[in-house]
């Protein structure tokens, strides 16, 4: 890649009048912008093209490269049309067989042509053969490559050969000098430069095992570098935050918060009281709070949020609460109005569907500070929403939001030098090892207790063939005055099919349950209708609600005691747990039926088993992590792009420990080296770590 190309790649999106070629665009999408990014883009595996084996020495099932001359090339019609090429060298003969081929290939392999061929030998019907080997026409003096051939992770639009060339050129140019002091790395590992050159261009004869399982010292060096960069960037983020100023929001005696506590129809659980105190202590500080409140579904996070909001409002500042869906935002709005309006707090409601004059009025109230609490969806962070004095921002189901959105919320306080406090809430707990390494910069409060009187939800796993039994159960529940959710799965990438499924199920249930009012809720409904359907269910006129996953988060209808999840095998574990959390909120014994359509995959089985065996969100998260691994578990959204590329938190624990111990010392003694290390590994991603 020429430097001019590199420059064009570096230009931010939208600013580039120059056209990027398809492979250039693909490189950019993979985040391969700088030479160092390419140098740190490491092979998945290698192919050995450095050696030629005599044909006679080939063993069945082992990949090998041979070179020989074509003695015959013919097309035959057997069970299907195929191209058969006979190749010989001094030691013997081999048949190459191609089931799909182009006329050009046929020409390339004409008799007399010398070919270099890579593939696996097998004993075929016609003797020793390779099926679909890689073939390269060569001359007798065509040199062999001097290194193993790297195979890189790539995308369809970016051919290996192009990427190999780009990486090779970048390696030659990239500044690979050590930025760390010599005593920093664990002993016995090669320098970064040595490690990179080795991993991109291993010399012939390098045993592939240690490279491919990433245990080779060169890999150890890379993983340690990465872990160190990540630890350093989190320390930096923490230090930066400590320098930021936020409005101090000390508790006020006999204020709104006390008033709310007195007015609540229940007493806080011990866990809620503890968490409220932790949040209160943060809010009283002149540094912005950066706290995650995690608590299982139904553990009562909303009231904790309301008390935090009350504290901010008591201190004379505004509070914003953002939820990922309109249904959830509306539910919060109702709850908060019910709790806080009688105490004199004006609550504003902002969503995408509220437009025109009403919206203008709302915006004016938010801008003047007249609206003290603002509840809504993403609409809360739109450009035109200006707060008078935003002191506290609360994000519910925070993992549903992108990092950029959380950042936007933090930037909603216009006053120079001041940031609002940030409280994030989530029902998907983060296991401790992950919290340690990804969220070192985050304070965590945990609600580890459910409000009293909750009944465990009995979970049953049924094959879809037993649908009739399930419908009979619904009939009984409805006759008893209970309410029922029936959840239809998300059909990947097709909102349309989604809708079809839900509509078909609605029709089926309507036929099977005459006289029962059945609501239908899905993402495509206009907001007003959605709200009407939801209200019908919340207020109890509709006993059965057929829904897509729009009800997944936070919906709270205590009288609902049965949930049926159709095609449960298609859902993720965290999502199933969230859904199930919609029942078991009232006094009635509750049940959840997971319907599946066989055959189940291994991980599908493991997920459904976990659901049947435990109702504990932390245990579910642990199993989920086990089934999916940390990368999948966190997902790009939650982690920003900051997920580790090479290191594995479990397998590389000793390297992680080393990096964790070194990072603070390095930051203190060699701040410039620490900055260079973060820049090298995480440039452009650092913002994400702070969100």
Q: Which residues bind ligand ADP (CB under 6 A)?
A: 266, 268-269, 272, 295, 297-303, 427, 451, 554, 556, 585
Indicate the residue among 180 and 275 with the shorter CB distance to ligand ADP: 275
Q: CB of 595: closest distance to ligand ADP in angstroms? A: 24
Sequence-distant (≥ 6) Cβ neighbours of residue 61 within 8 angstroms = 120, 121, 122
Burial 650-659 (b: 16+ CB within 10 A, else e): eebeebbebb
Q: Answer for the pair 142, 116: CB distance below 8 angstroms, yes or no.
A: yes
CA 442 to CA 238: how far, in whole Å? 8
Please state the φ and ψ torsions of residue 482, each to the nearest 5 degrees.
-90, 170
CA 503 to CA 488: how far, in whole Å? 10
CA 315 to CA 174: how far, in whole Å? 53
Helix (H, G, I), strand (E, B) or coil at 2: coil
Indicate the residue among 300 and 391 with the shorter CB distance to ligand ADP: 300
The one of ligand ADP, Mg ion, none whose footprint includes residue 269, by CB under 5 to 8 A per kind, is ligand ADP
Q: CB of 555: closest distance to ligand ADP in angstroms? A: 9
Indicate the residue among 200 and 582 with the shorter CB distance to ligand ADP: 582
Indicate the residue among 220 and 547 with the shorter CB distance to Mg ion: 547
Indicate the residue among 428 and 437 with the shorter CB distance to Mg ion: 428
Q: What would the DSSP string read from start to end of 319-375?
A: EEEE-SSHHHHHHHHHHHHHHHGGGT--EEEE-TT--HHHHHHHHHHHHHT---EEE
Q: CB of 248: closest distance to Mg ion in angstroms? A: 28
Indicate the residue among 431 and 451 with the shorter CB distance to ligand ADP: 451
Indicate the residue among 226 and 296 with the shorter CB distance to Mg ion: 296
**Token output for 97:** 């067989």
The one of ligand ADP, Mg ion, none whose footprint includes residue 556, by CB under 5 to 8 A per kind, is ligand ADP
The one of ligand ADP, Mg ion, none whose footprint includes residue 451, by CB under 5 to 8 A per kind, is ligand ADP
Burial 96-105 (b: 16+ CB within 10 A, else e): bbbeebeeee
The one of Mg ion, ligand ADP, none whose footprint includes residue 426, by CB under 5 to 8 A per kind, is none
Q: Answer for the pair 361, 377: CB distance below 8 angstroms, yes or no.
A: no
**Does the bond joining 599 to the residue before it have cis omega, within 30 degrees of 0?**
yes
The one of Mg ion, ligand ADP, none whose footprint includes residue 678, by CB under 5 to 8 A per kind, is none
Give alpha helix (H) positions in 443-494: 467-479
CA 344 to CA 339: how far, in whole Å? 10
Q: CB of 487: closest distance to Mg ion in angstroms? A: 17
Positions in the binding site for Mg ion (CB under 5 A): 554
**Token output for 111:** 């008799």
Q: Which has the closest alpha carbon to 522: 473, 483, 486?
A: 486
Q: CB of 687: closest distance to ligand ADP in angstroms? A: 29
Q: CB of 305: closest distance to Mg ion in angstroms? A: 8
Indicate the residue among 301 and 530 with the shorter CB distance to Mg ion: 301
The one of ligand ADP, Mg ion, none whose footprint includes residue 297, by CB under 5 to 8 A per kind, is ligand ADP
CA 36 to CA 204: how far, in whole Å? 25
CA max distance for the chain: 98
The one of ligand ADP, Mg ion, none whose footprint includes residue 491, by CB under 5 to 8 A per kind, is none
Indicate the residue among 303 and 576 with the shorter CB distance to ligand ADP: 303
Place of tokens 């993979």: 30
Tell me which DSSP letter residue 374 carries.
Answer: E
Q: What would the DSSP string read from start to end of 7-67?
A: HHHHSPTT---SPPPHHHHHHHHTT--SHHHHHT---SEEE--S----GGG--TT-EEEEE
Indicate the residue among 279 and 502 with the shorter CB distance to Mg ion: 279
The one of ligand ADP, Mg ion, none whose footprint includes residue 564, by CB under 5 to 8 A per kind, is none
Tell me which DSSP letter residue 418 carries.
Answer: B
Q: CB of 481: closest distance to ligand ADP in angstroms? A: 19
Radius of gyration of the chain (CA): 31
Q: Answer for the pair 446, 429: CB distance below 8 angstroms, yes or no.
A: yes
Q: Measuring CA to CA, how many Å separate 681 from each of 1, 255, 277, 561, 689?
A: 21, 48, 38, 50, 13
Q: CB of 450: closest distance to Mg ion in angstroms? A: 13
Indicate the residue among 185 and 581 with the shorter CB distance to ligand ADP: 581
The one of ligand ADP, Mg ion, none whose footprint includes residue 441, by CB under 5 to 8 A per kind, is none
Q: CB of 427: closest distance to ligand ADP in angstroms? A: 6
Q: Measuring CA to CA, how many Å separate 63 from each of 48, 105, 226, 454, 479?
A: 9, 22, 33, 61, 67
Q: Which residue is nearest to ligand ADP (CB)?
A: 300
Q: CB of 454: closest distance to ligand ADP in angstroms? A: 8
The one of ligand ADP, Mg ion, none whose footprint includes residue 303, by CB under 5 to 8 A per kind, is ligand ADP
Q: CB of 637: closest distance to ligand ADP in angstroms? A: 20
The one of Mg ion, ligand ADP, none whose footprint includes residue 268, by CB under 5 to 8 A per kind, is ligand ADP
Indicate the residue among 55 and 427 with the shorter CB distance to ligand ADP: 427
Q: CB of 27: closest distance to Mg ion in angstroms? A: 41
């Amino acid at each position: 890649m020429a430097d001019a190309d590199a420059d064009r790649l570096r230009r931010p999106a939208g600013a580039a009048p120059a056209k990027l070629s398809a492979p250039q665009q693909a490189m950019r999408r993979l985040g391969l912008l700088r030479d160092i990014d390419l140098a740190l883009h490491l092979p998945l595996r290698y192919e050995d093209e450095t050696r030629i084996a005599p044909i006679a020495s080939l063993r069945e099932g082992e990949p090998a490269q041979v070179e020989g001359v074509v003695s015959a090339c013919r097309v035959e019609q057997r069970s299907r049309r195929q191209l058969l090429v006979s190749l010989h060298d001094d030691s013997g003969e081999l048949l190459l067989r191609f089931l799909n081929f182009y006329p050009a290939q046929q020409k390339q392999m004409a008799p007399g042509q010398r070919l270099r061929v890579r593939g696996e030998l097998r004993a075929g019907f016609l003797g020793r053969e390779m099926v679909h080997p890689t073939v390269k026409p060569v001359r007798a003096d065509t040199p062999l490559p001097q290194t193993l051939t790297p195979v890189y992770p790539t995308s369809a639009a970016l051919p290996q050969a192009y990427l190999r060339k780009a990486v090779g050129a970048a390696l030659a140019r990239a500044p690979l000098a050590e930025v760390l002091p010599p005593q920093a790395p664990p002993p016995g590992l090669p320098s970064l430069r040595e490690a990179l050159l080795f991993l991109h261009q291993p010399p012939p004869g390098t045993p592939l095992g240690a490279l491919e399982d990433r245990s080779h010292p060169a890999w150890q060096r890379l993983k340690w570098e990465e872990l160190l960069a990540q630890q350093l960037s989190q320390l930096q983020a923490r230090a930066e935050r400590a320098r930021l100023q936020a409005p101090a929001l000390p508790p006020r005696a006999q204020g709104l918060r006390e008033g709310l506590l007195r007015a609540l129809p229940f007493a806080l659980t011990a866990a809620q009281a503890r968490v409220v105190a932790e949040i209160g202590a943060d809010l009283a500080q002149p540094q912005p709070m950066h706290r995650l409140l995690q608590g299982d579904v139904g553990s009562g996070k909303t009231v904790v949020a309301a008390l935090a909001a009350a504290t901010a409002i008591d201190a004379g500042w505004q509070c914003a609460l953002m939820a990922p869906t309109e249904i959830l935002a509306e539910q919060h709005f109702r709850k908060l109005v019910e709790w806080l309006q009688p105490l004199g707090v004006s609550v504003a409601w902002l969503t995408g569907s509220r437009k025109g004059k009403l919206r203008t009025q709302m915006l004016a109230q938010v801008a003047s500070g007249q609206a003290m609490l603002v509840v809504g969806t993403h609409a809360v962070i739109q450009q035109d929403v200006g707060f008078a004095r935003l002191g506290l921002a609360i994000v519910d189901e925070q993992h549903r939001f992108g990092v950029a959105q959380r950042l936007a919320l933090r930037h909603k306080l216009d006053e120079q030098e001041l940031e609002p406090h940030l409280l994030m809430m989530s029902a998907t707990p983060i296991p401790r090892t992950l919290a340690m390494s990804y969220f070192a910069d985050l304070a965590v409060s945990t609600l580890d207790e459910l409000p009293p009187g909750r009944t465990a939800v009995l979970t049953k796993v049924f094959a879809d063939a037993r649908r009739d039994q399930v419908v009979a159960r619904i009939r009984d529940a409805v006759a008893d005055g209970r309410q029922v959710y029936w959840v239809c799965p998300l059909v990947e990438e097709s909102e349309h099919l989604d809708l079809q499924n839900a509509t078909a199920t609605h029709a089926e249930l309507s036929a099977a349950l005459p006289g029962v009012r059945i609501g239908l809720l899905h993402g495509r409904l206009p907001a007003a209708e959605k709200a009407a359907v939801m209200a019908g269910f919340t207020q109890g006129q509709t006993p059965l609600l057929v829904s897509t996953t729009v009800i997944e988060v936070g919906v709270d209808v205590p009288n609902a005691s049965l949930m049926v999840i159709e095609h449960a095998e298609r859902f993720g574990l965290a999502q199933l747990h969230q859904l199930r959390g919609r029942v078991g909120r009232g006094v009635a014994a509750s049940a959840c039926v997971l319907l599946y359509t066989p055959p189940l995959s291994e991980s599908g089985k493991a997920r459904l088993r976990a659901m049947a065996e435990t109702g504990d969100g932390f245990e579910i998260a642990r199993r989920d992590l086990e089934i999916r691994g940390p990368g999948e578990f966190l997902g790009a959204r939650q982690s920003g792009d900051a997920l580790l590329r090479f290191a594995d938190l479990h397998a590389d624990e000793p390297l992680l420990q080393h990096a964790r111990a070194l990072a603070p010392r390095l930051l203190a003694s060699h701040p410039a080296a620490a900055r260079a290390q973060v820049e090298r590994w995480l440039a452009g991603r650092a913002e994400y770590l702070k969100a």
